[in-house]
Amino acid sequence: MSRLYNTIIITALILGFSLLWFEGSNLNTLLIQIISFPLAFIVSSLRTLSLMNPLLNILAWIIFLFIGSIPLLVVYRIKTLSLSVKLTLIVLSAFTFFSVYGLLNYSFVKTLMSWSELEPVMMFMISLIMFGLIGLVALLKVSPQFKNPVTSFKLLQGISLISAAFLASTLFLPYQELINTWSSSMDQFFVFYQLVFNSFMACLMLLILKHIIHLLEIIQGKTFSAECIKPLQSLQSTSILLFFSALGGPLLIGILNLIFFHSLSHVSVSLDVPWFEMIFALLINALSSILFTGIKTTEENEGFI
């Protein structure tokens, strides 16, 4: 898994770096386009199918009905849902039917707002619903296997790997606007500093995720093994570095703002710390300490026996 991690992350970094040279590939627009692409492709294909001949039009309607029924699959899959949740999913299914049909037929929804504003919003929103519900059904399908610790650890490894790949692919995207509007002013220097600081935080997060994947690989064999000590030490030291960097970086830029305030058109004296990274670092450090305690207790028990 560690070798696979390196391959995927390097590929994601190269992909993210290459996106710098595509016009308009800012983070928000790109993510919306990526998430919306499957539904946009489906809607375009359905429209083409329905116009080709009557037989393919029937096929397009079958696919359309299946897409709208995705929320109902959750109701069918989970027998223990409360009545309110089932009713919510049924309403969500009706909303999906309405929205997809509206994307296929502009005249059906043109009274709501202009098409140029409506289409990307609906594409993005319905795609998120579809991805979420399909993922939920897939998760529930394999849920009985979660009683096996190996399966659970592999799932955690997969989630960590996906998170790291997403983080790596978006690492360079914020630099595009800076490249297009670069000037030699002191304000631009502080923008560049903030971007570099954010990238450093992201690299530390990638390193922590790599340590987590490696640690989970060892834990699959034996939870409190002495082999876990070295990865845990690396995980703990990286999380501590992440915490103090997240705290010190904004403090440093605040001090620099005060020192060079005469050369700046905008001075910020607020301490805007990255709370998510700090909380994540504290959580990882706490979990590492718990595992260290477990390893120590296991070694003492084995020595006593």
269-293 confidence digits (pLDDT tens): 556 678 888 888 888 888 888 777 7
- How far apart are alpha carbons 76 and 230 in whole angstroms? 46
Q: Provide the pLDDT for residue 138.
A: 65
- The amino acid at residue 12 is A
Cβ-contact 59, 122 below 8 angstroms: no
Residue 178 has pLDDT above 80, yes or no: no
Most trustworthy range by pLDDT among 61-75, 108-122, 201-215, 291-305: 201-215
Q: Provide the pLDDT for residue 204.
A: 92
Cα 300–Cα 304–Cα 305 angle in degrees, nearest 5: 120
- How far apart are alpha carbons 137 and 264 in whole angstroms? 53
Q: Provide the pLDDT for residue 3.
A: 74
For 128-164, the pLDDT digits (tens) are: 777 777 766 666 666 555 556 666 777 778 888 888 8
- What pTM value is reported for the model? 0.63
- How far apart are alpha carbons 115 and 103 in whole angstroms? 9
For 162-172, the pLDDT digits (tens) are: 888 888 888 88
Q: Provide the pLDDT for residue 25.
A: 46
Q: Provide the pLDDT for residue 207.
A: 92
For 2-19, the pLDDT digits (tens) are: 678 888 888 888 887 877
Q: Which tokens go with 68?
A: 């709208």
Burial of 198 (0-12, 13-18, 19+ CB in 10 A): middle
Q: In angstroms, what is the C-alpha Rg of the chain?
A: 25
In the chain, what percentage of residues exceed pLDDT 70? Answer: 70
- How far apart are alpha carbons 244 and 256 in whole angstroms? 18
Q: Provide the pLDDT for residue 97.
A: 80
- Overall size of the chain counted in residues: 305
Q: Provide the pLDDT for residue 205.
A: 92
What stretch of H or E contains 171?
none
Q: Which tokens go with 123?
A: 């594409």
Cβ-contact 166, 211 below 8 angstroms: no
- Please give the average per-residue pLDDT across 167-179, as a whole number: 78
For 194-226, the pLDDT digits (tens) are: 888 888 999 999 999 998 888 888 877 666 667
Domain range list for the chain: 18-146
Whose CA is closest to 171, among 3, 18, 24, 4? 18
Cα 285–Cα 287–Cα 290 angle in degrees, nearest 5: 110
Q: Which tokens go with 6?
A: 């390196």
| Residue 270, φ and ψ in degrees, nearest 5 | -80, 150
For 221-267, the pLDDT digits (tens) are: 666 667 778 888 888 899 999 999 888 888 887 777 777 666 655 65
Q: What is the DSSP letter of 21?
A: G
Q: Distances in Å between the alpha carbon of 273 and those of 23, 254, 277? A: 31, 11, 9
